[in-house]
Each structure stands twice: as structure tokens, then as C-alpha cells.
Amino acid sequence: MVRSDEIRAAGTDLVKVYTSATGEMHALRGVNVSFRAGSLAVVMGPSGSGKSSLLNLLAARDVPSAGSLRLLGREVSALGRGGLGRLRRHISYVPQRASRALFPHLSAGAQIRQLARLRRVREVDPYAVLSRVGLEHRASSRPADASGGEQQRLAVALALVGTPSLVVADEPTSELDHRSGDQALAVLSEAAAAGSAVVVSTHDERVLAVADRVLQLRHGVLSGEREGRGQALAAIDPTGRVQLPPEALERFPTGRALLTIEDDAVVLRPPGDAG
Ligand code: ADP
Ligand code: MG
């Protein structure tokens, strides 16, 4: 039984700063998110907005610079290397570059059997796994002989071996045509239906059709959120910061707003506006 209220991944004030020779890059600036079992959440946002940074954290492939990250009930900062490794066994990750998820020397069928061993899955039918993404005829081919799209489909198929608690897929349809993209999405939404918490980042509007929830990232900040086909919500962080969508922001060229609290609304007006 899946408890649909069970939170499988949660970040509080998540910060990710990359340090390089040219300086610091603040990729995530205090993000608050949570992901539940049995649902598929989509993270959208322009290139550079922090999607991969967030997904790397959720997949336990990276640790935050600050803030709290709870994965499968564990606080990541309290885990050592071993603990983090054990956690990863229950988390499937489809990286933006799918080839990174593949064993380069193994055929597609052998990849599936190998992963099943690592995840302690007793029985696995590689043919059945491959046919879900239309790769049943490719069981004996190695990653080097596969196209980018085939590698991506294989990575998605691998992500589902052993019904992982959490599935994190970074732009998993970026190299797929409509038909195989739809197949991959069907597989990801089946994983959610089977009880996994599924997080998918994308630019692909088709993914919205299978989303239970859509999160918008901008400049490393969660700017908006929409539940199902319901209302679009702006995210408010615990210190009270709200990020305005661009069409609202352009009304405040001075970067200042007149704020009034009314009975049923909080209103922002450009200063000097009679309202
Ligand atoms: P997205 O996936 O939305 O395109 P990313 O999370 O990949 O965004 O990147 C967010 C920002 O962090 C970008 O400005 C990117 O250049 C920077 N960045 C990502 N990874 C690194 C890294 N390893 N080192 C330095 N900067 C990085
Ligand atoms: Mg990315």
C-alpha cells in the first residue's frame, strides 16, 4: 500500500553554490519543495534556472551547500558516504546526459540484469522492460552502438527496475521524437501510479499532460507552482519573499511596490499609482 501523503523528498531553504576559478555561481538560492509518493511532479524553467542542480540533490548525487535535504525520511547531511550510497539504491536517476546512467561495456539486456542485482530485485524480465520503451529488438546492443535517443529510452527503462521509492529524471525526453517521448512519459507516469515519487525536469510541454504538479524555477528560486489543472500559485518563501512572473514584474520598473493589506487580498501597486 502506498500512503499518498508520504513525503519521499523534501528540501528546506536549499542552497547550491558552485565554486570555480572564475568565482561563485549561486545555482539554487533557498528553494522549498516536497515530493510525495504516487505523484509525478514536473520542474520547469529556462536553461540555467537550476533544474539539474535541484534534481542532482533530489537524486542524492550531490549535497546542498546549505539548507536541509530529506530523502526517504533521512536527513542527507547526517549521512556518511556509506549511508548516501545505500540511499541511492532506492533512488533512480536519469541524468540529463543519459549515457552517464549506463554501464558502457554492457548490452541493454545485461544492464537491466546488473541493475536488478544491485537493487536486489529477484526477478526481472529484460525483454519486458525494454519493450515498454520500444527497445525490445535492442537487447544485445551496447550504449556505444545506440543513438542518443535509444540511450535515453534505455536510461528511462532502467530507472524503473525494482519500483524505486523515488525516480528523478532530468529532461528525459530531450532527444526523443513524439512517439518515443510519449512512451517514456507513459512509463514515468506508470511509475507514479505504482507508488514512486517521480520528479521530471523538462522544457517539453507534452510532459505537462502527465503532471500532477508543476513547479517553476527561475534564477535558482521557486517562482510558481500549479497543482493538477488547477490554479497557478506563486511561491512564498518562509521569510515572505514572492517572485513575480515577468508580466507582473514589468509593472515595477523601479523595483519598488506600494503594498496594501485588504480584507481578502494583499495588493501590490507601482508607487505613485492612485489605484
Ligand atoms: P538547468 O538545468 O536549469 O539548465 P543548472 O542547474 O544546470 O540549470 O545550472 C544552474 C546554474 O549553475 C547555471 O548558471 C550553470 O552554469 C551553473 N552550474 C551548473 N553546474 C555547475 C558546476 N558544476 N560548476 C559551476 N557552475 C555550474
Ligand atoms: Mg539541466
Averaged confidence pLDDT in the chain? 91
112: which 3 cell numbers?
537491466
| Residue 63, pLDDT above cutoff 80 | yes
What distance in Å separates the CA atoms of residue 61 and residue 232, rounded to the nearest whole number? 30
| Residue 244, pLDDT above cutoff 90 | no
What distance in Å separates the CA atoms of residue 89 and residue 119, rounded to the nearest whole number? 6
The residues pairing with 266 across neighbouring beta strands, listed in sequence order, are: 261
- Any idea which residue has 518563501 for its cell? 237
Residues with CB under 6 A from ligand 1: 18, 20, 25, 27, 45, 47-53
H-helix or E-strand spanning residue 70: strand 66-71
- Any idea which residue has 546542498 for its cell? 64
Summarize pLDDT for 143-185 with one digit per residue, the tens: 999 999 999 999 999 998 998 999 999 999 999 999 999 999 9
Q: Read off the pTM.
A: 0.88
With beta carbons less than 8 A apart as the criterion, state whether 45 and 79 touch.
no
What distance in Å separates the CA atoms of residue 254 and residue 256, rounded to the nearest whole number? 5
What distance in Å separates the CA atoms of residue 260 and residue 262, rounded to the nearest whole number? 6
Summarize pLDDT for 82-121 with one digit per residue, the tens: 999 999 989 999 999 999 999 999 999 999 999 999 888 9
pLDDT at 4 (0 to 100): 56
Residue whose CB lies within 8 A of the most ligand 1 atoms, among 44, 52, 61, 94, for a mutation test: 52
pLDDT at 7 (0 to 100): 96
CA-wise closest residue to 167 among 186, 185, 192? 192
Summarize pLDDT for 205-243 with one digit per residue, the tens: 888 888 999 999 999 999 988 887 666 677 787 788 887
